[in-house]
């Protein structure tokens, strides 16, 4: 059997490192197209000598994209942004960049393309992020007819920017915001429980383990039967914003006040924080607008089941990397406090 050649755009990111490792274990030659190949050198030991090749390519550079996919049997596009900075706009990355990869993959004769979108992709989304993700899916489908689209919910894992962010915030603030929750207080907290001023739990998510998403992409590439169509990838349980914060606080041994945050107020906060010239703003107005809708899979949508994967629960993974945030040290068990 001939060795498969796979080009991955954005392979040095959170999801990318998991996918590169899996494809290397399957024996593929993996070309990782990134903006900074030097910073991605840590990927090379995931495979044999010469099995993982790093190449400089920006989705906005037509020539670089063509070179990156030349000779590839399969192409995967993982590139996405959560906020806009300068020329790196949602339109440029999620739509034009995604279409550029799809057109180049088709022209190069690649037999498979997997495009990673997001569960909130919708042309009628209240957020530009969701609208451009949906427009990107349409552009990819027009350029590469049998492209497979993956729509993961918010992903978790040791390097995530979700659970880690709230755990870090809990170390600094006695109050944590619960976006979209309604105010109400009708429960006396037990020992070690947070004080919640929420009558409802706020916006709902279906957190999905990053390793499961990487495995879904790998399996989609392993079989022609899965080429084409969209897969909604959500974890085994739906969690409200309050549920997520309670899990973080329980595993870090911290006690905070859970305060309802109306979305209109969150938009004001996001507009202020998003305008500060930081490398990565902690919150933007568009991110808050995305929370006007629950981030969960739709009934009867294709997902993990069709790929033969049983998704992993957050409680099985998250406690393993929350330990660094515990009061009193990494090895202190918060349940014994």
**pLDDT at residue 69, as a whole number:** 98
Closest listed residue to residue 214, CA positions, set 311, 137, 332, 294: 311
Instruction: Please give the angle made by the CA atoms of 312, 230 and 307, to the nearest 5 degrees.
Output: 45
pTM for the structure as a whole:
0.93
What is the pLDDT tens value at each position of the chain, 337 positions in all?
568 999 999 999 999 999 999 999 999 999 999 999 999 999 999 999 999 999 999 999 999 999 999 999 999 999 999 999 888 999 999 999 999 999 999 999 999 999 999 999 999 999 999 999 999 999 999 999 999 999 999 999 999 999 999 999 999 999 999 999 998 876 666 677 888 989 899 999 999 999 999 999 999 998 754 457 899 999 999 999 999 999 999 999 998 999 999 999 999 999 999 888 867 888 999 999 999 999 999 999 999 999 999 999 999 999 999 989 987 666 666 555 5
Q: What is the DSSP letter of 124?
A: T
pLDDT at position 333 is: 61
By the 8 A CB rule, do 157 and 317 touch?
yes
| The pLDDT of residue 225 | 47
- β-strand partners of 156: 209
Residues 52 and 90 in one domain: yes
Q: Which residues contact 46 (CB under 8 A, 6 or more apart)?
A: 17, 20, 21, 24, 52
Give domain status of residue 23, yes or no.
yes
Contact indicator for 225, 307 with CB cutoff of 8 Å: no
First to last CA, the chain: 57
Residue at 48 is within a domain:
yes
Same domain membership, residue 103 and residue 249: no
Q: Are residues 194 and 319 in the same domain?
A: yes
168: in domain: yes
- pLDDT at position 202, please? 95
Map 141-172 to HEC letters: HHHCCCCEEEEECCEECCCCCCHHHHHHHHHH
Do 138 and 280 reside in the same domain of the chain?
A: no
Q: What pLDDT sits at residue 195?
A: 87
CATH code for position 74: 3.40.50.720
Residues 90, 197, single domain; the answer is: no
Query: Which of left, alpha, beta for 109 (phi over 0: left; psi -120 to 50: alpha)?
Result: left
Residues 71 and 125 in one domain: yes
Residues 42 and 146 in one domain: yes
**Do 39 and 122 reside in the same domain of the chain?**
yes
Residues 22 and 144 in one domain: yes
Q: Which of 152, 178, 194 is the last residue of a domain?
A: 152
**Exposed/middle/buried for 329, CB within 10 Å: 0-12, 13-18, 19+?**
exposed
Q: How far is Cα 332 from Cα 321, in angstroms, rounded to an integer?
A: 13
Query: Residue 217: inside a domain, yes or no?
Result: no
Residues 82 and 173 in one domain: no
In a domain, 52, yes or no: yes
In which domain, by residue range, is 134 found? Answer: 5-152
Going by the DSSP 8-state scheme, the letter that residue 72 receives in this structure is: -
Q: Do 11 and 101 sit in the same domain of this protein? A: yes
96 & 174 share domain: no
* Residue 104 included in any domain: yes
DSSP state string for 260-327:
EE-HHHHHHHHHHHHHS--SS-S--HHHHHHTTS-B-PPTT---GGGGT--PPPHHHHTHHHHGGG-T
Residues with Cβ within 8 Å of residue 302, at least 6 apart in sequence: 229, 230, 231, 232
**Spatial separation of the C-alpha atoms in residues 200 and 183, rounded to whole Å:** 7
pLDDT of residue 193: 82
Domain assignment present for residue 303? The answer is no
Residue 221 forms part of a structural domain: no
């Amino acid at each position: 059997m001939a060795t498969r050649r796979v080009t991955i755009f954005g392979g040095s990111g959170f999801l990318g490192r998991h996918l590169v490792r899996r494809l290397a274990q399957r024996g593929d030659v993996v070309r990782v197209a990134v903006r900074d190949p030097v910073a991605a050198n840590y990927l090379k030991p995931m495979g044999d000598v010469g099995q993982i090749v790093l190449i400089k390519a920006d989705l906005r550079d037509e020539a670089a994209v063509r070179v990156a996919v030349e000779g590839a049997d399969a192409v995967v596009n993982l590139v996405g942004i959560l906020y806009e900075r300068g020329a790196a706009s949602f339109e440029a990355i999620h739509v034009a960049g995604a279409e550029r990869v799809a057109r180049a993959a088709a022209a190069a004769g690649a037999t498979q393309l997997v495009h990673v979108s997001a569960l909130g992709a919708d042309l009628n989304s209240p957020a530009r992020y969701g609208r451009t993700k949906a427009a990107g899916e349409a552009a990819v489908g027009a350029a590469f007819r049998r492209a497979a689209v993956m729509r993961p919910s918010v992903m978790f894992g040791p390097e995530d920017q979700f659970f880690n962010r709230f755990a870090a915030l809990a170390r600094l603030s006695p109050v944590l915001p619960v976006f979209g929750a309604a105010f109400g207080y009708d429960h006396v907290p037990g020992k070690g429980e947070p004080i919640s001023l929420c009558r409802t739990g706020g916006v709902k998510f279906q957190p999905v383990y990053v390793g499961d998403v990487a495995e879904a992409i790998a399996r989609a590439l392993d079989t022609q039967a899965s080429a084409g169509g969209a897969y909604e990838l959500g974890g085994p349980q739906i969690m409200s914003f309050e549920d997520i914060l309670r899990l973080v606080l329980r595993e870090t041994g911290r006690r905070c006040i859970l305060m309802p945050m109306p979305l209109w107020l969150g938009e004001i906060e996001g507009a202020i924080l998003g305008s500060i010239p930081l490398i990565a703003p902690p919150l933007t107005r568009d991110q808050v607008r995305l929370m006007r809708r629950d981030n969960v899979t739709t009934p009867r949508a294709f997902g993990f089941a069709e790929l033969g994967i049983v998704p992993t629960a957050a409680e099985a993974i998250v406690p393993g990397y929350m330990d660094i945030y515990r009061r009193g040290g990494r090895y202190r068990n918060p349940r014994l406090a």
